[in-house]
Amino acid sequence: MTDAAPDSPRAPAVGVDSGPLPIGDFTSPVRDERTAAILGAAVGIGFTVCFATGVLSHLIQDPPSWFLWTSRPAGLYRFTQGLHVVLGLALIPILLAKIWTTYPHLFSWPPARSVAHGLERLALLPLLGGALFLSFTGLSNINVWRPWDFDFRSGHYWAAWLVIGAMVIHLTAKWATTRTALTDPASLGIEPSVGQSPGLDRRSFLGAVFATSGLIALFSVGQTFAPLRRLALLVPRRPDIGPQGFPVNREAASVGMADVDAAAYRLVVDGAGVGRPLELTLDDLRSMPQREAELPIACVEGWSSSQRWRGVPVRDLLAQAGAGDDAEVTVVSMQDSRRLKTSELNRWHAHDPDTLLALEVNGEVLAPDHGYPVRLIGPNRPGVMQTKWVGRLEVT
């Protein structure tokens, strides 16, 4: 949150108004403990929600042995990841305002008054750097602009842990001041907001910051909340634009799947978990009982779009192949890129009646970009795990 009262720009303590950049040189009256406490609380709560939803997304994609992701409710991941991205974007102005409010304290002198104070100030490095890093990499990633050499998911993931750790240290150090600044500002000598100075007062400053944040959320949330899709002006995707009326991240041509020979197509169902391996043509699949389900494609980048899918339930194929009730499946794509070539169906997803090998969407045969001739679509899964151009189910 913010430094204790003696460090404030209005009331520099002995020794802190010396050094290379005296804190008293920063004169804005908006920079007080109450402003910093309000912004800090918002950043703290927002980052905690982003952390929880982000770690959840990580666990779903790379599940450790103790984690089994549910297939219901069907739109849960759509909600958690949509929240992650919209909230992350809306936090950017609040984070910047928090940094602006408190950065004069970075120059307070002497740099450390005690070992504990020194450690607390050292924790500002990962906190500040990490928070800016998360915002920048997140924002660039959803805009598919990745001017770096590292793997986005690993960098963003480990930075999140670093930031949350540093945030706990920071919160612990600033807890008392924050509480007082929020509940009893007069005891810190903090003046009421209105009429505080001829310039910008606290209420106007905070109003401007939170209004900016609200507008960012309003102009982004349409990427996942269809009724506001026309307002999705600050994000690269609208849920109703793309082949067959919804977006595509990976196009068929980019992975050699633009021209699949339907006559030569075979779906193979095999692996240690099956009693009778299957090899099915497209006509075999079409002649099996079909099921329809309204399910979202919920991209890790936060956009999502619901469609009506039709195809063969994976569990029917498993039953036909003699697989057990707890069978798990690796879904393998025919694409020629190794990235996102496979996805896992845990036992709940594999046996959910709405987990389909879809042949149609909204009454039309799938377009190549949506995975023609056969794609996986199941409830409550990230879009990257809804494998397209499926050629094989490996059952264990």
Q: Which is nearer to ligand HEM, 47 or 348 (CB)?
A: 47
Q: Which is nearer to ligand HEM, 29 or 54 (CB)?
A: 54
Name the H helices within the chain.
33-61, 76-102, 115-122, 124-142, 152-183, 202-218, 282-287, 314-320, 347-351
The DSSP code for 6 is G
Q: Choose the stretch contacting ligand HEM; rule: CB under 6 A; options: 84-92, 97-105, 233-241, 258-266.
A: 84-92
Q: Is 10 in the site for ligand HEM (CB under 6 A)?
A: no
- Minimum Å gap between C-beta 20 and ligand HEM is 32
- Minimum Å gap between C-beta 55 and ligand HEM is 5
Q: Which is nearer to ligand HEM, 27 or 254 (CB)?
A: 254
Asked if 140 contacts 146 with a C-beta cutoff of 8 angstroms, the reply is: yes
Q: Is 47 in the site for ligand HEM (CB under 6 A)?
A: yes
Element (H, E) at 365: strand 364-365
Q: Which is nearer to ligand HEM, 99 or 139 (CB)?
A: 139
> CA angle 150-156-159, nearest 5°?
110
Q: Is 141 in the site for ligand HEM (CB under 6 A)?
A: yes
- Minimum Å gap between C-beta 301 and ligand HEM is 5
Site string for ligand HEM, 295-314 (x = CB under 6 A): -----xxx------------
Q: Is 61 in the site for ligand HEM (CB under 6 A)?
A: yes
- Minimum Å gap between C-beta 164 and ligand HEM is 6
User: How many CB atoms within 10 Å of residue 54?
Assistant: 23
- Minimum Å gap between C-beta 107 and ligand HEM is 26
Angstrom distance (rounded) from CA 127 to CA 119: 13
Among 93, 87, 1, smallest CA distance to 44 is for 1
Q: Which is nearer to ligand HEM, 40 or 273 (CB)?
A: 40
Crossing angle between the packed helical segments 152-183 and 33-61, to the nearest 10 degrees: 150
Among 152, 149, 150, smallest CA distance to 141 is for 152
Q: Is 203 in the site for ligand HEM (CB under 6 A)?
A: no
Looking at the DSSP bridge assignments, the partners of residue 343 are: 331
Asked if 210 contacts 97 with a C-beta cutoff of 8 angstroms, the reply is: no
Contacts of 144 (CB under 8 A, 6+ apart): 236
Asked if 163 contacts 131 with a C-beta cutoff of 8 angstroms, the reply is: yes
Q: Which is nearer to ligand HEM, 62 or 279 (CB)?
A: 62
Of 9, 12, 88, 371, which lies in the binding site for ligand HEM, with binding defined by CB under 6 A?
88
Asked if 156 contacts 137 with a C-beta cutoff of 8 angstroms, the reply is: yes
Q: Which is nearer to ligand HEM, 139 or 367 (CB)?
A: 139
- Minimum Å gap between C-beta 110 and ligand HEM is 31
Q: Is 153 in the site for ligand HEM (CB under 6 A)?
A: yes
Q: Is 212 in the site for ligand HEM (CB under 6 A)?
A: no
Q: Is 85 in the site for ligand HEM (CB under 6 A)?
A: yes
Site for ligand HEM in 158-177 (CB under 6 A): 160, 163-164
Cα dihedral 146, 151, 152, 155, rounded to 10, equals -130
- Minimum Å gap between C-beta 120 and ligand HEM is 20
Of 42, 89, 274, 374, which lies in the binding site for ligand HEM, with binding defined by CB under 6 A?
89
Contacts of 121 (CB under 8 A, 6+ apart): 111, 112
Local structure of 269: helix, strand or coil: strand
Alpha-carbon distances, residue 339 vs 101, 332, 343, 346, 387 (angstroms): 43, 11, 10, 20, 11
Site for ligand HEM in 242-301 (CB under 6 A): 300-301
Contacts of 242 (CB under 8 A, 6+ apart): 248, 369
Angstrom distance (rounded) from CA 41 to CA 335: 47
Element (H, E) at 136: helix 124-142
Q: Is 50 in the site for ligand HEM (CB under 6 A)?
A: yes
Q: Which is nearer to ligand HEM, 84 or 105 (CB)?
A: 84
Count of residues in contact with ligand HEM, rule CB under 6 A: 28
Query: Which residues are near ligand HEM by CB under 6 A?
Result: 47, 50-51, 54-55, 57-58, 61, 84-85, 88-89, 92, 134-135, 138-139, 141-142, 153, 156-157, 160, 163-164, 300-302
